[in-house]
A and B are shown apart, each in its own frame.
Chain A
Amino acid sequence: MDEKAQLIKLSEENHEPSWLTKRREKAQEQISQLAMPKMEHFHPGDVDFANKSETICTNDASSENVTEDFETNLIQFGTDTIQTNLSPEMANKGVVLVDLFEAFRDLPDFMRKYFMTEVIKGDENKLNAEHLAYLNSGILLYIPKNVVLDDPIEVKLIQDSTKKLNWYQHLLIVADSNSSCRFLQHLTTVGEESNIANMMVEIIAKPGSHVEFSSVEELSKKTTFYFDRHANIEKDAHVEWAVGLMNSCDTLGEIDSELVGEGSYANSQLVSVTSDKQKYFINNRVTNRGPHSTGLINQRGVLLDQSKLIFNGIGQIVHGAHGSKADQQNRVLMMSPDARGDANPLLLIDENDVIAAHAASVGPVDPVQMNYLMSRGIPYDQAQRLVIRGFLGAVLDAVPDKDVRQKMIDILERKLINGQKYQAN
């Protein structure tokens, strides 16, 4: 049986709606015709996505070594959702947090309207087409109108690399009018196989809604990571991203905030630490379409060892978005003479009545700060870690949950200690 026939069979066995089967089939046909994602300073081949792993899951997941954890609202291991656990408060208010394939079965019309239609499309590039064709894992979060959640929704996503299977994982968040939620995800890998993680996030922020998305990421070295995270932000809606890229793998990714509504707001914050021979290519894009919209970008990267990091910050203000504001900072700290880092701010402005600013820097650790900390008896390596933490602090502070923030700091600390060992050699 060829791959396409296999795909259709699997889709039918999953009781997926026929429109989804058709869309997968079409995407599968488009893969070979589409190009890799386009990005400044990225050349197809810089990250190797030609992976030999299976794309279609034919056997059962082996999730027995994942422990349940009732602090977490949902846990996915590879292609399986192994726990969902909404608080009674959330359930009573009509919040929906389910496995994506359950959503396709139970809410087909809703999914047909929102899934990969208006925010991310399957035919944008080759990797997006692969995502749609081979989709094998995902989550739907729906927050009804006027529902304000005090507690964050926490999700653990565990890549199953105990076998050779690529992971096509999709998160769809629909925040209805005037709702408010905080979402935290934690990405890890179990297993030693080399697989692709092709992960997408779509956020639809309806008028007046408020979404805070935080992500702590520590995928394994053997993973090849592609992510595409888009938000459509409607009138007076508010989206904040706080992303900690602490993965050990090569990464190509884009965060894109579309300020479609008047008075909409996006704050896109990202920190990364690269070590070893890792390569990261990151686009952080905010597009002001609505008048009086505000788009902020703050990216900070720390480079260790022989790693490479490209930060592109793209602030676009389209004609008609009068009274808008775009502000971006892209800062890179070089910890090793063998590392290569680049911070590229791009401002594309097609409207006169706006405020736009950008800042970029690439440099070493501040010697004045180092001397001060060391003059209090703190050894060089430890002082360096404190300065780096300070450098990343502007973004780490934006992580709403104190435990998650601490987790990011702990992971950061571990990565830095390993990187410093490299420098000493």
Chain B
Amino acid sequence: MSVLEIKDLHVEVKDDEKKKMKEILKGVNLTLKTGEIHAIMGPNGTGKSTLSETIMGNPHYHVTQGDILLNGESILSMPVDERARKGLFLAMQYPAEVPGVTNAEFLRTTINVRRPKNDPMPITEFLKELDKNLDLLDMNEAMTERYLNEGFSGGEKKRNEILQLLMIKPQFAILDEIDSGLDIDALKVVARGVNAMRGDNFGSLIITHYQRLLNYIVPDVVHVMMGGRVVKDGGPELAKRLENEGYAGLRDELGLHIKLVDED
């Protein structure tokens, strides 16, 4: 079993307009084990994406306090590629487009950087694995010869993120608003992909605004984030309650003095 621990994490980013640092995360604590699926819900502007980008190691985000441990080892000083090879994966909200590099070539590269230099995955094995996962995600084979995310629709990009997840097989996957911009059919396909990964060797942190996704990927634990902290933990029923009552109700019940971004 592997463990990803986030301890008292404080993170700031540079505010491009005001040219000064702004604290987004103000002490996040969270423990995720393989075999578990956790969901993080919360209103806009509460630091959910900051948390996922910081775990993955995007250099844009600065940790000022606290730690992130993977199996007891701090990963804060590791660059993003090293964290990825250690077993972390982030399905991004806005995947970058990389023209000139085909999807298939990119996928092979991501697999082979995890293997010894003199032992790349045989091409037949790779293609077999690729076909299987394309089928699972109702993706056309032609997608693999297109350039990485270039000209992909929003839905195609999200499916492509899940295709990478299935090919790379990380220990921990963070899915950052994988449901945004998806219609219900695409949502089911994406959920099918994630559920296929479920098992003792896989843990996931699913970030979402809406409870809807959690009907298809049922989480073991639900965390609610507000004002840069985790303010409440619960089971899947917590997500259903938020869907009905909104975040303001929970905030008032907890006696928090946080202004929600979209509140009048």
CB nearest to B96 among chain A residues: A372
A374 and B92 in contact (CB under 8 A), knowing A386-B101, A387-B98? no
Q: Cβ of A375 < 8 Å from any Cβ of B? A: yes
A-B residue pairs in contact (CB < 8 Å), sample of 27: A369-B97, A369-B98, A371-B58, A371-B59, A371-B80, A372-B96, A372-B98, A375-B89, A375-B90, A375-B92, A376-B84, A376-B89, A376-B110, A377-B81, A377-B84, A377-B110, A377-B168, A379-B81, A386-B100, A386-B101, A386-B106, A389-B100, A390-B147, A393-B100, A393-B147, A394-B99, A394-B100
Instruction: Mark B38-59 against chain A: 1 for CB-CB distance below 8 A, else 0.
Output: 0000000000000000001111
B95 at the interface (CB under 8 A from A): yes
Say yes or no: is A391 at the interface (Cβ < 8 Å to chain B): yes
Are A377 and B85 in touch, CB under 8 angstroms?
yes
| Cβ-based interface call for A96 (8 A) | no
State the Cβ distance, A371 to closest chain B Cβ, in Å.
6
A378 at the interface (CB under 8 A from B): yes
Residues of A within 8 A of B58 (CB): 371, 375
> With A377-B84, A377-B85 known to touch, is A386 a contact of B99 (CB < 8 Å)?
no
Max chain B C-beta neighbours (<10 A), residue from A369, A373, A377: A377
Find out whether the CB atom of A374 lies under 8 angstroms from the CB atom of B80: yes
Question: Which residue numbers of B lie inside 8 Å of A, CB to CB?
Answer: 56-59, 79-81, 84-85, 89-90, 92, 95-101, 106, 109-110, 113-114, 147, 164, 168
Chain A residues positioned under 8 Å from B96 (CB to CB)? 366, 368-369, 371-373
Interface of A is mostly: helix
Chain A residues in 8 Å Cβ range of B57:
375
Q: Considering the chains assembled together, what is the distance between the CA atoms of A394 and B101 in angstroms? A: 11
Tell whether, in the assembled complex, residue A396 and residue B113 are in contact, meaning their CB atoms are under 8 Å apart. no
Q: How far is the CA of A366 from the CA of B99 in the complex (A)?
A: 12
**Listed residue (B80, B106, B113) with the most chain A CB atoms within 10 angstroms of its CB:** B80
Complex: chain B residue closest to A391, CB-CB: B100
- Which 6 interchain pairs have the tightest Cβ spacing? A393-B100, A390-B100, A377-B84, A372-B96, A374-B81, A376-B110
Contacts of A411 in B (CB 8 A): none
Note all chain A residues with C-beta closer than 8 A to B106. Answer: 373, 376, 386
Rounded to whole angstroms, the CA-CA distance of A167 and B242 in the bound complex is 78
Interface contact tally, CB-CB below 8 A:
77
Interface size on A, residues (CB 8 A): 25
| Closest A residue by C-beta to B84 | A377
B98–A390 CB distance below 8 A: yes
Closest A residue, CB atoms, query B95: A372
Q: Which residues of B have CB within 8 Å of A371?
A: 58-59, 80, 96
From known contacts A380-B79, A390-B147, infer whether A375 and B84 are also in contact, taking CB-CB under 8 Å. Answer: yes
- Within residues 240 to 288 of chain A, which ones have a CB less than 8 A from any CB in chain B? none
Name the B residues within 8 Å of A375 (CB-CB).
56-58, 80-81, 84, 89-90, 92
Known: A371-B58, A371-B59, A383-B81. A378 touches B98 (CB 8 A): no
| Residues of chain A contacted by B90 (CB below 8 angstroms) | 375
A378 to B114, CA, bound (A): 9
Contact across chains for B109 and A386 when beta carbons are under 8 A apart: yes
A residues in contact with B109, CB < 8 Å: 378, 382, 386
Interface check A392, CB cutoff 8 A: yes
> Which chain A residues lie closer than 8 Å to B97 at the CB level?
369
Contact of B81 with A396 in the complex, beta carbons under 8 Å: no
Residue of A nearest to B99 (CB): A390
* A396 lies within 8 A of B80 (CB): no
- Contact call A380/B81, Cβ cutoff below 8 A: yes
Decide yes or no: A377 and B113 within 8 Å by CB, A371-B58, A371-B80, A393-B147 being known contacts: yes
Contacts of A396 in B (CB 8 A): 100
- Interfacial chain A residues near B56, Cβ < 8 Å: 375
Asked whether, in the complex, the Cβ of A374 is within 8 Å of the Cβ of B95, the reply is: no
Bound-state Cα–Cα, A374 to B96, Å: 12
Residues of B within 8 A of A393 (CB): 99-101, 147
Smallest Cβ distance from A173 to chain B, in angstroms? 29
Smallest CB gap from A409: residue in B: B100
Please tell me if the beta carbons of B79 and A374 are within 8 angstroms of each other in the complex: yes
Closest B residue to A376 using CB positions: B110
